Every structure is written in structure tokens, then in C-alpha cells.
Chains A and B, each alone.
Chain A
Amino acid sequence: MSTYFMFTLKAFVNQLAFRSEVWLRLLGNYFAILIQVEIWRAVIGNGGSASTTVEQMITYSILNTLLFALLLNRVSSKVDGSLKSGSIASELIKPLSYPLYLLFDGLGQSLYQFIFTVIPSLILAWILFGMLPPASTIHFIAFLGALLMALILSFLLGYLVSLLAFWFLSHFALSWTLGGLITIFSGSFLPLWFYSPSWAAVAKLLPFQYLGYVPAAIYLGNQNEAELWRTIALGLIWIILLLVVAHWLWGKAVRRLIVQGG
């Protein structure tokens, strides 16, 4: 296991070379949050809507913008690069698990983002826009759990796309499709409680909601305890399901591997 943690460390140290971009990233996050804050002020600013206050929506927007920086969404482009350059062949003969290597490498990047982007952005956003505290201790603990699930699910989805790329020979189309599905069903901009009932019903069955809506909604206490358990259970089912599919596809993909270049 310590080998894999070394990959995390290595990815982290690699990212350190780009420290100068921290200010630009902060500015980028500030813009992203500002846009959402102004939108929510414009539509629910005065008086507020029946169920949601502007403060809640500001907190929701901050959480989602920062969560996005943490997600492991570079997996498929990394594998694609190895497939196209042919270096996948030498990576596969190493005595280690390739998917675990990808996971820990991705975690290293997330760790870097957490320290150098998320924490400073969080402080900045808290000062400039104000943030609500978590609804309760239980909700905060559940929120941390939901974050972990978001990381795992984002990895698994990206990994599945990269495995399918063994057949498609390019991850481009699949990644864009996945991105579109995440935009529609994650609720990372518009919370699912604002979706029309039929769209919300579909979104609440799919795994994409864990990449946006679920952690923020739990943080805000928008889910009571019964709902909370149901959400977590469904998330676990999705994780297991995607793991099984990924494992099965992996076996097939390795045998199908076509190295295009090198």
C-alpha cells in the first residue's frame, strides 16, 4: 500500500511546480462563485422564495464550485494519453494494479487542489459572500462521507470512460457525453429541489447527483435522517455496481488493447 501512497505524494509534488497558478485559480473560483451568487440574488433576492433563502443558495454555490476542483476528473484523459503514446504497455507490465495507481495519482492531484485552491477559496468566499455553518454535527459528518463518495464515484465514472476508450480508441466523445450527463443530472448549479418533478425523479436515481447536489444538500440539512440514509445507501449501491462493471470491463479491455503509437 505504501507504494500507492508514494504515487499520491509524487502527483502532489508534481503539481507543486505550478504554484504560480494558484492566484489565477483563486480568481477563477471567485468569478465562478460570483456569477452564481448574483444569479441567486437576482431571482430570490428580495423576500426569498418559499423554501430557500439566498444565504442557502450562496453556500450551495460555494460548496459545489469547490467540490468540482476536488473531483477526480482527469482519469480518462490520462489513460487516453497513455493509450495514444503507447506507454500503457510499459505501465501494464509493472507489478502493480493499474487502476489503483490511477486512483492514488488522482488523489495526489486532489490533495494539491484541496490545500492550494479549495482552502484559500473557501476562506475568501466565506469573507466575501458569507457561508452558513453545517446544519448539525450529524449532517456535517454525513457531508464528509458524501465528499468521499463523490471522489470515489467521480473516479469510477472517469475510469469507466477510459476503459470504454479501449474500444472507441479515443475518450473524447465519451468524456463529453459524461460531462453533459453530469451537467444535467448533478444539480451542481441548480439544486434538484428546483427541478421539475419528472426531471428530479430521474436525477435522484442516477449516480451523477453525488457529484454535486448530494454533498451540498446534506451540508445544508436539506435531507432529514431517513432521506439521508436512503441517499447514502443508494450511493453505496452505485459504487458497488460501477466497481463490478469496471472490474469486468478491465478484464476484457486488457485483452483488447491496441497500442496505436509508440
Chain B
Amino acid sequence: MTLLLFSKLVRLLLKEKMEYRADFVLSAFAQIISYAGDYIVIWLFMKQFNSIAGWNWPEIALLYSIGLFTYALGASFSFVQMSGLEGQVREGTFDTLLIKPVNPYLYLISRGFNLAYVAHISISGTVLIWAIAQLNLQWSWTDYVYLLLALISGAMIHAGLLTAIGATTFVWVRTGYLFSLFFQLKEFISYPLPIFGTVVQLLLTVGVPLAFVNFYPAAFLLSYETSLIPHWAKWLVPLAGPLIYGLGYRFWMYGANKYQGAGG
């Protein structure tokens, strides 16, 4: 039932987007340029310094690409929807969502499902494949399965955190800056965790567990030391995603139930 509804809503969305086809294509192209810019700067950096914390350029490219790929996947289900919540709560249009005979969360995320992330996914996916080929890894099939699970888990971590931030809208209404803070925190995981001090490592492992998105999976796949997670816990890492997403969802529903309206 809900899956049917989801596909129907996405189809509607697709039609809506294709009304402005040229704009859609141009926008995707521009986003690819923008992210290519990030890659170019890191590449120039690695060209000058060769390695950072022992990681070379293809390894950093792998790390960064997992981060971007999972972000795009997770954010397509959460970012625009959650950041748009502020306006809906303030104007009172959120109330109409609560009287629909469907789960308000599912309705919100499917109606706002964002196709624009194809740009992020195509550039990060391409670089990810390039990096794996470049590193000439002797991977067994379990490693590929591990990568796949890590990608799914990473996407769920992003979506879970963004959902949790969205839930704060029900209390504080203005949440724009929390999203900016999230993006600033996300910058940390563009680089190997060991370059940061213990406090930051703990923060990104326990507090805002973004290190589970790309650092821990990549470190296990590339056989790097991880000081905070023992090696036997390798297969537990992809469980972080479902856990965080579940918590984020519960928190959001809790907030929506407590929601009293912003008086708009």
C-alpha cells in the first residue's frame, strides 16, 4: 500500500520536474561542476603532499566518495523535506498533512523525494569505481558485500540525522542553522579520522556518529588501524545505519505527536 503510494507520488514528482527539463539538466550539470571543484582541490592538495595520515589520493578519493554518495542517497529522502518543514510549520500548512489518512512521515518524505541528487550520485559513484580500480585491491566477494552494506548504512545515517534535526522544528521552528552545523560537521569525515584529536574522534563516533558513514567502513576495507573500534566489530559497523535511522524516525514521530502548531 505505502509502496504503491510512494511510487505514485514519485511519478507525480517526476512529471512536475520534467516541466522544467532544461532547468533540471542544467542544475544537475552545475552541481557536478561544483562537486568536481571539491575533488579538484583535494586532488591538488594530495598532489602536493602525497599522503595524509598515511592515506594516498585514491584512498582519500574512496573515502570522500563514500561520504558524498551516501549523503546523496540519504538526503534525497530527507534533506529538502526536513529543511522545508520550517516553512510549513510556520505557515501552518503542516497541519493539513496531519489529517491525511497516511503516515505523515512517509507522506512527507515521498512527496518531497528529491531527484536532483542524481548529480551527486553520478559524480561520486564514478570516482568511487575509479578509486577501487586504481587501488588494485584484491577484494573477495565479502568485501564487495561489505561495501554495499556500508553504502546503505551510510545513507541511513545521513537520513536519520537529518530527520532528527527536522524533528526539532516542532519545538524551535527555526532550524536553518542546525542544518548548516550538520554540513559543517560532515566536513570532518572528508578526511581520515586519525588526523583529529581524541575528542573529535569520540564526537564523530559516539556523539554524531558520522564516522560510521565512511571512515570505519573504508578503514576496514583498506586494512587501516581504527583506534576506537576493534577489528572483530567490523561487521557490526553497517548496523549503525538502521539503528540511527530508526531512532531518528521515532524522534520525528514523537515530535509530530507533540506538535501544537506555531500559531500561524
**Interface residue A181 (Cβ < 8 Å from any Cβ of B):** yes
Which B residues touch A28, using CB under 8 A?
Answer: 177, 180-181, 184
Within 8 A of A (CB), among B23-39: 23, 26-27, 29-31, 33-38
Report whether A172 and B30 are in contact in the complex, using a CB–CB cutoff of 8 Å.
yes
A190–chain B nearest beta-carbon distance, Å: 5
Cβ-closest chain B residue relative to A188: B41
**Interface residue B5 (Cβ < 8 Å from any Cβ of A):** no
Within 8 A of B (CB), among A58-117: none
Task: Please judge, given known A-B contacts A43-B52, A183-B37, whether A173 and B30 are in contact too, CB under 8 Å.
Answer: yes
B95–chain A nearest beta-carbon distance, Å: 23
**Interface residue A169 (Cβ < 8 Å from any Cβ of B):** yes
Which A residues touch B36, using CB under 8 A?
Answer: 180
Report whether A39 and B52 are in contact in the complex, using a CB–CB cutoff of 8 Å.
yes
**Interface residue A27 (Cβ < 8 Å from any Cβ of B):** yes
| Alpha-carbon separation in the docked complex, A147 to B177 (Å) | 26
Which B residues touch A184, using CB under 8 A?
Answer: 37, 40-41
Considering only CB atoms and an 8 Å cut-off, how many residues of chain B contact the other chain? 36
Within 8 A of B (CB), among A5-38: 18, 21, 24-25, 27-28, 31-32, 34-35, 38
Which A residues touch B44, using CB under 8 A?
Answer: 190, 194-196, 199
**Interface residue B196 (Cβ < 8 Å from any Cβ of A):** yes
Report whether A21 and B177 are in contact in the complex, using a CB–CB cutoff of 8 Å.
yes
Report whether A31 and B185 are in contact in the complex, using a CB–CB cutoff of 8 Å.
yes
B120–chain A nearest beta-carbon distance, Å: 11
Report whether B53 and A180 are in contact in the complex, using a CB–CB cutoff of 8 Å.
no
Contact of B47 among A27, A181, A196 (CB under 8 A): A196
**Interface residue B229 (Cβ < 8 Å from any Cβ of A):** no
Report whether B27 and A176 are in contact in the complex, using a CB–CB cutoff of 8 Å.
yes
Cβ-closest chain A residue relative to B194: A42
**Interface residue A177 (Cβ < 8 Å from any Cβ of B):** yes
Task: Please judge, given known A-B contacts A28-B180, A190-B44, whether A176 and B52 are in contact too, CB under 8 Å.
Answer: no
Report whether A32 and B191 are in contact in the complex, using a CB–CB cutoff of 8 Å.
no
**Interface residue B197 (Cβ < 8 Å from any Cβ of A):** yes
**Interface residue B187 (Cβ < 8 Å from any Cβ of A):** yes
Within 8 A of A (CB), among B171-227: 174, 177-178, 180-181, 184-185, 187-188, 191, 195-197, 200
Report whether B23 and A172 are in contact in the complex, using a CB–CB cutoff of 8 Å.
yes
Considering only CB atoms and an 8 Å cut-off, how many residues of chain A contact the other chain? 37
Report whether B197 and A173 are in contact in the complex, using a CB–CB cutoff of 8 Å.
no
Which B residues touch A25, using CB under 8 A?
Answer: 177
**A174-204 contact mask (Cβ, 8 Å, vs B): 1 or 0:** 1111011111100001100011100100000
- Scoring B20, B44, B174 by chain A CB atoms within 10 A of each residue's CB, the highest score goes to B44
**Interface residue A168 (Cβ < 8 Å from any Cβ of B):** yes
**Interface residue B48 (Cβ < 8 Å from any Cβ of A):** yes
Task: Please judge, given known A-B contacts A31-B185, A39-B191, A184-B40, whether A177 and B34 are in contact too, CB under 8 Å.
Answer: yes
**Interface residue B139 (Cβ < 8 Å from any Cβ of A):** no
**Interface residue A170 (Cβ < 8 Å from any Cβ of B):** yes
**Interface residue B254 (Cβ < 8 Å from any Cβ of A):** no
Report whether A42 and B52 are in contact in the complex, using a CB–CB cutoff of 8 Å.
yes
| Alpha-carbon separation in the docked complex, A196 to B196 (Å) | 27
A198–chain B nearest beta-carbon distance, Å: 11
Cβ-closest chain B residue relative to A185: B37
Which A residues touch B174, using CB under 8 A?
Answer: 18
Report whether B37 and A181 are in contact in the complex, using a CB–CB cutoff of 8 Å.
yes
**Interface residue B141 (Cβ < 8 Å from any Cβ of A):** no
Report whether B188 and A42 are in contact in the complex, using a CB–CB cutoff of 8 Å.
no
Report whether A32 and B187 are in contact in the complex, using a CB–CB cutoff of 8 Å.
yes
Which B residues touch A44, using CB under 8 A?
Answer: 49
**Interface residue B45 (Cβ < 8 Å from any Cβ of A):** yes
Report whether A180 and B178 are in contact in the complex, using a CB–CB cutoff of 8 Å.
no
Which B residues touch A177, using CB under 8 A?
Answer: 30, 33-34
Closest 10 pairs (CB-CB, A-B): A183-B37, A180-B34, A176-B30, A180-B37, A173-B30, A173-B26, A42-B195, A180-B33, A43-B49, A184-B37
| A194-B44, A196-B48 given; 14 more Cβ-contact pairs under 8 Å | A18-B174, A25-B177, A28-B184, A31-B185, A38-B196, A38-B200, A39-B195, A43-B49, A173-B27, A173-B29, A177-B30, A177-B33, A179-B34, A180-B34
**Residues of chain B whose beta carbon lies under 8 Å from any beta carbon of chain A:** 20, 23, 26-27, 29-31, 33-38, 40-41, 44-45, 47-49, 52-53, 174, 177-178, 180-181, 184-185, 187-188, 191, 195-197, 200
Offer 5 A-B interface pairs, CB within 8 angstroms, sorted by A.
A38-B195, A42-B53, A42-B195, A168-B23, A173-B27
